[in-house]
Structure 1
């Protein structure tokens, strides 16, 4: 029977980014290499020599990811990287050890060694495994990273560069949250503005909608799989303060027990 400690170790092993521990080992893109957005790119992999064998795997999904942490496992790995795009869905291993795709320039920011590939492989009995490529750069990127990605990138840099990363993070986050929600049609993450705070006085006589209604179509057939997976809301900037009430507490009522008991008296 697997102990809790062994289960935690296995989960850490599977989640460890940027290293292939089983089944798939990426051989291209090369670590530290640079590719161009919009070009037809090809990823290559081989059998890592560890179980399960590639011959035992059926199909896979390939994602473009960005963020951190570095090669060493960190508890922050789940919260410091993001799937930017699903590049290949239900790819078949029987077609070979390579696949071609395009990286759209609006998926992320221009930042060195920020990108890597993630492959989720599936085999018999619904078994799955996750493997990662080495980091690489993408020229021509014109999009914005999320706060999560900037945080992950900060984990891969030394302390001297953290201040610059925070500035990039703040600028990127502000731009993302100001784009109207219906206009965010790319990526796997959407961004919602900070929740509105009530005013200090009540002046409105009615409650009209704050934003216009969204257009919609009634579904008459099965809908496609949603193109986004997560919605992040801008953090609250509201701050409050309070002081102790200096008023003297009112005294407890006196001589009211008889009046209280009289309520339960039987008048019959």
Structure 2
């Protein structure tokens, strides 16, 4: 199952917003199918519990290839209608898959046809005896594909105070429309500032990826200035009327101030 070109275009311009954070398999993990089955541990966390409750369906597929040539098997390894933090042991028959580099794809659906995608790190399968059924290269290495598309936006989230939000996507209210005149004599902070914390160890992704703001619902109007251009001046100051250089008396130069 090749990824549709339109999805690739969307994926290239939209920030990663999937609420699934896949923690296993880890980068560089290797699993052997020499005993007839390769058992791969799959574990994931939920970054945004509110969005997870909106999920109508999700599937986990086995994929291979680079970002520009992703190919996934059509039969889901895992599927469900209730998404929550979980761990699964995925069993891959050695005679169904060839040796190579693979990763898992989470395809998550929401009401209204909205969907998002998340990918695991690449892992290696060894001891497999099956033929390669992927059109994408199964020798591709490197970081996992890191994109998602068409993330859901619930207007009610924009009313939740920013400091109380916990997801990787934060929501801000609409910017206030400026009035026709200034009515305040002193300034005041409208919202509390968020706390600052620093990473003490390396992490593959930040806690917050982006903030969305409700678009303005009003329009601004402008008008052209049709006033005629002023003519060039017709007379100039003569050189004799230039300002002469100021001078001070000897007594004034000795003082450290000027009498005004």
TM-score after normalising by structure 2: 0.46
The structure where helix makes up a greater share of residues is 1
Q: Which of 1 and 2 has greater Rg?
A: 2
